Amino acid sequence: MNTKADFYFNKGKWQKETQQLRKIVLDCDLKEELKWGCPCYTFEGKNIVLIHVFKEYYALLFFKGALLNDPENILIQQTENVQSARQIRFTNLQEIVKMAPVIKGYIYQAVEVEEAGLKVPLKKTKDFPVPEEFQNKLTEISSLKTAFEALTPGRQRAYIFYFSQPKQSKTREARVEKYLPKILDGKGLDD
C-alpha cells in the first residue's frame, strides 16, 4: 500500500467498495502508486490497472485491456475513441466480493501481456476523419498545417475529436476558429 493513495479510498460514496477492490489488486503483488490523481498499480514499472470512480459506478481500468481475453464479457470500452484501455465497472460491494477470483485472473493476464511486451496496435492520426471545417483551415493556412503536424499525435487526435463532435457546421467552425491560436502556439486542447 502507498499511503499517498489513502485519501482516494476515504472519500465519496464508493469507499467500502474501492477499499475492497484495492485489497484484491494488492493481493496480486502489484505496486501501488498515485498517477493522474488515482491509485495506479504497476508491475516492474509498467502500468497494469487503475482504480477510478465516477458518479454512477467505480471501475478497474486495464491499460492494455484491448489485448485481454474476455471470457466473462465484462470489459467495457469507455468510448469509441479509446483504443487500448478497457474497464470492469462495478456498482456494489457484493459484485466485487463475488468476482474476486475473476478480477484476479484478469489482472494476472494483464501482467502476462506486459511481460510478453505486447502492444496495442493504435490507429494513426491520419486514420481519423478530419472535419471539413478544420481541413479547410489546414488547406488555407500553411502555418496552421505545419503547427498542427508538429503537435504530438495525442494532441492532434484531441483536436480532431473535439472539432468533430458538434452536429452543426456552424458550431464546428466556431470551435476551429477559437482554437487556431492555441494550435499555432504549439499547445494542446487543454494546455
**Measured distance CA(149)–CA(147) in Å, rounded:** 6
* pLDDT per position as a tens digit, 30-41: 999 999 999 999
- CATH 3.90.1150.200 positions along the chain are 3-115
The DSSP letter of residue 151 is S
Pick the CATH number of 3-115 from 3.60.15.10, 3.20.20.70, 3.90.1150.200, 3.10.450.100: 3.90.1150.200
Q: What pLDDT is recorded for position 190?
A: 86
pLDDT of 64 reads 96
The count of other CB atoms within 10 Å of the CB of residue 31 is: 14
What are the b/e assignments for 52-65, b being 16+ CB within 10 Å?
Answer: bbeeebbbbbbbbb
This prediction has a pTM of 0.74
Q: For residues 52 and 61, is the Cβ–Cβ distance under 8 A?
A: yes
Amino acid 174: pLDDT:
96
What integer pLDDT is reported at residue 122 of this predicted model? 79
Report, as ranges of residue numbers, the positions in the chain whose pLDDT lies below 70.
none
